[in-house]
C-alpha cells in the first residue's frame, strides 16, 4: 500500500511538472477602483504565446473581441452610476488554453462632484515604438488626469483656409496663397471637408471647396482691398467639431471688433487647431492662438507659401490624438501639460490648454 501511495504521488508530480505554466493576464485600463464613465479603452496585456483571441465581457455580457496586440476594445459606459465587473479571457495555443482576469470599477454616488468632459489633444510625438495610454502623463491645472486613449493618425476633419485679401496682400501675395491652396488640398484625406474664408475689414461666410475644385473657379476674380479683421475672421470658424484653421495673412489687424483675449477665448474653448503662415510681418495674436491650440506659426513670402502649407498639412496628417477625461477643475482656462513616462518619447508639440465654461 505504501508503494501504491508513492507511485500515485510520483504520477501526480510528473503531471504537474509536465503542465504548461499559467499565463498572466493584466489590465492596463481601467485599473481596479477606477470610475468608468463615457467612452474608454479596455486593454489588457498577457505573456501567453500564440494568442488566438481576447474576449472582453462587462457584467457578464460580451463587449468586444481583440485578436492582436494591443488587446484593446473601446466601450461606452454612458453616464451610469453603477460599478462594473470587467473580465478578459485570453484564448491561446489553438484555443487549447484559457486564462482570465477581472477588475471591478468603482460606483459613483449622486453626491460625487465630477466633470466628465472628454478632452481631445492633437499632438506631435517622436517615439521609438507606438504609443500606449500609460506612456504619457497628463496634468490639467496641476491635477493629474486619466488618459483614456492615444490614437495614431487622425480622424476625418474640417479644414478652413482663412485668407487675408486686404490691400496689403497685393503684389502677388493673395494670388500665391490661392494657388497654394489649390495645389496642397490634394493632401486632404477621404472624409475631410475643405472651406475657404476671405477677409479684409469684412469677413466672408465659409465657402465649401469640393474635392478637385479650384479656388479660382469657386471665387472668381478677387481683388485686394480694404482693412484687416484678422481676429474676427479666425474666431468666426471656431467649431465644436475637429477643425484645422489655417490662416494666410501678413499679420496686421486694424478693424476687428473682438479684442485679443475674447478672440482667444472663443477659439480655445473649441476643437479648433490654429496654424498660420505670416507673410513678412509678425502676429502676437496668431502666435498665442497657435500655441494654445497645438498648432504653429511660420514665416513665409510669396515664393514659399506653397512649401509651408504643404509642410503644415503633412504635419497634421502625421499627428497623434490623446483623449483624457477632465476631472477636478473649475471653469475658465485649463492649462494642459503632457509629459512622457518613459525614455524614447519626445512630445514635440501639443495643445497647451482650453477654456471651459
The CATH number of whichever domain residue 55 belongs to comes to 2.60.40.10
The CATH number of whichever domain residue 225 belongs to comes to 3.40.50.410
Domain count, the chain: 2
- Looking at 163-167, 234-238, 321-325, which range is the least confident one? 321-325
Residues 79 and 198 in one domain: no
The answer to whether residue 122 scores a pLDDT higher than 50 is yes
Answer yes or no: are the C-beta atoms of 329 and 115 closer than 8 Å.
Answer: yes
pLDDT of residue 74: 87
Could you tell me the CA-to-CA distances from 309 to 71, 161, 293, 313 in Å, in that order? Answer: 37, 10, 18, 6
- Taking each continuous run of H as one helix and of E as one strand, the counts in the chain are 7, 20
Residue 145 located in a structural domain: no
What percent of the chain is predicted at pLDDT more than 90? 56
Most confident by average pLDDT, 158-162, 208-212, 290-294, 339-343: 158-162
Residue 115 — very low, low, confident or very high, per pLDDT cuts 50/70/90? very low
Residues 168 and 108 in one domain: no
Residue 196 located in a structural domain: yes
Residue 129 located in a structural domain: no
Residues 274 and 178 in one domain: yes
Residue 351 located in a structural domain: no
pLDDT of residue 272: 93
pLDDT of residue 114: 45
- Looking at 123-127, 189-193, 227-231, which range is the least confident one? 123-127
Provide the residue range defining the domain that includes 257.
158-317
pLDDT of residue 194: 97
Residues 312 and 166 in one domain: yes
Residue 272 located in a structural domain: yes
Residues 170 and 83 in one domain: no
- Whose CA is closest to 274, among 249, 301, 245? 245
93 Rama class: left (phi>0) / alpha (psi -120 to 50) / beta: left
Q: What's the pLDDT tens digit per position in 73-101? A: 988 887 666 889 999 999 999 999 999 99
Residue 250 located in a structural domain: yes
Residue/partner pairs of 85-88 with CB below 8 Å, 24 or more apart: 85/58, 85/59, 85/60, 86/27, 86/30, 86/36, 86/42, 86/56, 86/57, 86/58, 87/56, 87/57, 87/58, 87/60, 88/25, 88/27, 88/42, 88/44, 88/54, 88/55, 88/56, 88/57
Domain boundary among 54, 84, 114: 114
The answer to whether residue 302 scores a pLDDT higher than 90 is yes
Answer yes or no: are the C-beta atoms of 229 and 157 closer than 8 Å.
Answer: no
Number of Cβ within 10 Å of residue 194's Cβ equals 20
Q: Are strands 158-164 and 193-199 parallel, antiparallel or unpaired?
A: parallel
Grid cell of 43 as nine digits: 486593454
Residues 38 and 104 in one domain: yes
pLDDT of residue 1: 44
Residues 86 and 163 in one domain: no
Residue 340 — very low, low, confident or very high, per pLDDT cuts 50/70/90? very high
pLDDT of residue 79: 63
The answer to whether residue 320 scores a pLDDT higher than 70 is yes
Residues 162 and 233 in one domain: yes
Mean pLDDT calculated for residue range 334-348? 91
From CA 223, how far away is CA 353, in angstroms rounded? Answer: 38
Mean pLDDT calculated for residue range 119-128? 85
Average pLDDT for the chain? 87
pLDDT of residue 112: 45
Q: What's the pLDDT tens digit per position in 3-42? A: 544 444 444 433 333 345 567 899 988 888 877 777 788 9
Residue 232 — very low, low, confident or very high, per pLDDT cuts 50/70/90? very high
3-class DSSP string for 227-288: CCCHHHHHHCCCCCCCEEEEEEECCCCCCCCCCHHHHHHHHHCCCEEEEEEEECCCCHHHHH
Residues 70 and 167 in one domain: no
Q: What's the pLDDT tens digit per position in 243-282? A: 999 999 998 899 999 999 999 999 988 889 999 999 988 8
What percent of the chain is predicted at pLDDT more than 70? 90
Burial class (CB in 10 A: 0-12, 13-18, 19+), 203: buried
Residue 210 located in a structural domain: yes
Residue 110 — very low, low, confident or very high, per pLDDT cuts 50/70/90? very low
Grid cell of 70 as nine digits: 494591443
Residues 167 and 104 in one domain: no
Residues 200 and 299 in one domain: yes
Residues 6+ apart with CB under 8 A from 251: 230, 278, 279, 280, 281, 282, 283, 286
Q: What's the pLDDT tens digit per position in 152-207? A: 878 889 999 999 999 999 999 999 999 999 999 999 988 999 999 999 999 999 99
Residue 241 located in a structural domain: yes
Amino acid at each position: 500500500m505504501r508503494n501504491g501511495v508513492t507511485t500515485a504521488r510520483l504520477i501526480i508530480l510528473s503531471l504537474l511538472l509536465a503542465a504548461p505554466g499559467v499565463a498572466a493576464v493584466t489590465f492596463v485600463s481601467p485599473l481596479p477602483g477606477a470610475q468608468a464613465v463615457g467612452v474608454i479603452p479596455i486593454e489588457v496585456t498577457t505573456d501567453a504565446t500564440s494568442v488566438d483571441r481576447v474576449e472582453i465581457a462587462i457584467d457578464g455580457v460580451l463587449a468586444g473581441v481583440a485578436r492582436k496586440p494591443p488587446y484593446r476594445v473601446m466601450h461606452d459606459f454612458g453616464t451610469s452610476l453603477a460599478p462594473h465587473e470587467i473580465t478578459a479571457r485570453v484564448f491561446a495555443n489553438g484555443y487549447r488554453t484559457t486564462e482570465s482576469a477581472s477588475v471591478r470599477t468603482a460606483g459613483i454616488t449622486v453626491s460625487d462632484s465630477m466633470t466628465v468632459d472628454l478632452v481631445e489633444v492633437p499632438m506631435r510625438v517622436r517615439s521609438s515604438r507606438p504609443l500606449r495610454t500609460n506612456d504619457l502623463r497628463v496634468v490639467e491645472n496641476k491635477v493629474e488626469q486619466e488618459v483614456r486613449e492615444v490614437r495614431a493618425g487622425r480622424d476625418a476633419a474640417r479644414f478652413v483656409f482663412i485668407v487675408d485679401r486686404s490691400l496689403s496682400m497685393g503684389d502677388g501675395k493673395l494670388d500665391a496663397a490661392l494657388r497654394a491652396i489649390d495645389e496642397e488640398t490634394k493632401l486632404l484625406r477621404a472624409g475631410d471637408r475643405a472651406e475657404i474664408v476671405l477677409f479684409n475689414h469684412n469677413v466672408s461666410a465659409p465657402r465649401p471647396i469640393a474635392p478637385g475644385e479650384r479656388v479660382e473657379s469657386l471665387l472668381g476674380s478677387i481683388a485686394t482691398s480694404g482693412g484687416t479683421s484678422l481676429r474676427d475672421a479666425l474666431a468666426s470658424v471656431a467649431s465644436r467639431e475637429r477643425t484645422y484653421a489655417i490662416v494666410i495673412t501678413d499679420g496686421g489687424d486694424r478693424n476687428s471688433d473682438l479684442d485679443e483675449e475674447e478672440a482667444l477665448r472663443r477659439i480655445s474653448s473649441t476643437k479648433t487647431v490654429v496654424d498660420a503662415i505670416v507673410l513678412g510681418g509678425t502676429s502676437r495674436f496668431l502666435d498665442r492662438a497657435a500655441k494654445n491650440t497645438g498648432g504653429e506659426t511660420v514665416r513665409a513670402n510669396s515664393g514659399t507659401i506653397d512649401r509651408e502649407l504643404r509642410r503644415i498639412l503633412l504635419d497634421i496628417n502625421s499627428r497623434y490624438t490623446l483623449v483624457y477625461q477632465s476631472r477636478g477643475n473649475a471653469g475658465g482656462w485649463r492649462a494642459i501639460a503632457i509629459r512622457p513616462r518613459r525614455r524614447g518619447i519626445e512630445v514635440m508639440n501639443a495643445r497647451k490648454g482650453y477654456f471651459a465654461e
